[in-house]
Copies of this chain bind each other. A is one copy, B any other.
Amino acid sequence: MTNKLSIALAHHPVQNKNGDIITSAVTNLDVHDLARVARTYGLDAVYVVTPLEDQMRLIGRLVAHWVTGHGAVYNPKRREALERVQIVESLAAVREAVTRRCGAAPKMVATAAHPPGAVIDYAELRHLLTDGTPYVLVFGTAWGLSPSFMQTADHVLAPIQGPGPYNHLSVRAAAAIILDRLLGERD
């Protein structure tokens, strides 16, 4: 099942603090952390989305260091995680890549700290993940995914909420919690 779920980390189209649509810079540790979480929960693919060619090259070199370079020998567990990272130029390219890999177009599930409209909860998404369709969980960087992408997503996942109203997790922490809620042991 889990090989039909992928995650995408979007650096475009995302919002800045003022709600403008921007392209954010890729954070090295985001790539490592999301790849390690994906490996832990059995996902085959982590798509790092940026349209900037120099960022694509930079992240490509970083990943290659751990997958085929010195890092692969120094820390094979890091290789196991990072070998599932793919760098693509857009969320449309994520959809195409998943369609090629899985033989069917994926449903796109947006995540947001403050979703503008209706959401599905974790139990609902756990249930959907058993239906055989490929799904992509999309995480935004900076101040979150653009409203226009949110509107075109097939689903928006409920935000992670603690006991109070505060909701300002890093994308690294949010992705870890969400994958654990969807795929981790329930006790």
Contact = CB atoms under 8 A, between A and B. Distances in A.
A40 to B, nearest CB: 4
A176 interface: yes
Interface of A is mostly: helix
A168 to B, nearest CB: 4
Contact of A172 (B41, B123, B173): B173
A140 B2 CA distance: 29
A81 to B, nearest CB: 7
Which range contains the number of A residues in contact with the other chain? 35 or more
B40 A168 contact: yes
Interface of A: 2, 29, 32-33, 36-37, 39-42, 77-78, 80-81, 121-123, 160-164, 166-170, 172-177, 180-181, 183-185, 187
